[in-house]
Amino acid sequence: MPSESPPLHNRIAMLRVERGISRRELAEALGVHYQTVGYLERGEYSPSLVLALQIAEFFAVPVETVFSRRPFPPLGG
């Protein structure tokens, strides 16, 4: 199992569901394996910077909107 180094938080699942697409569809759009998206969403490991840039670009948001070293505040603040 992929271990836990510095924990990284992300909003991939949120953004993806917001767009109404499946993991497989996102994976295809990104050109990665669909399991890779699963691993990322579950936070089992951090993506490479290149993949992170692709993801942010796909969702048309800054990298910091998708990934953060600090936990994201809940939407219902």
Residues lying near a second copy in the complex (CB under 8 A) are found at: 5-6, 8, 46-54, 56, 62-64, 67-69
- Give the tokens for residue 36: 């890779």
Q: What distance in Å separates the CA atoms of residue 75 and residue 15, rounded to the nearest whole number?
A: 12
As a dihedral over the C-alpha atoms of residue 63, residue 72, residue 46, residue 35, rounded to 10 degrees, the angle is: -100
State the binding partner of 42 from a second copy, DNA, none, CB within 5 to 8 A by kind: DNA
State the binding partner of 62 from DNA, a second copy, none, CB within 5 to 8 A by kind: a second copy
Kindly tell me which of 67 and 77 has the beta carbon lying closer to DNA.
67
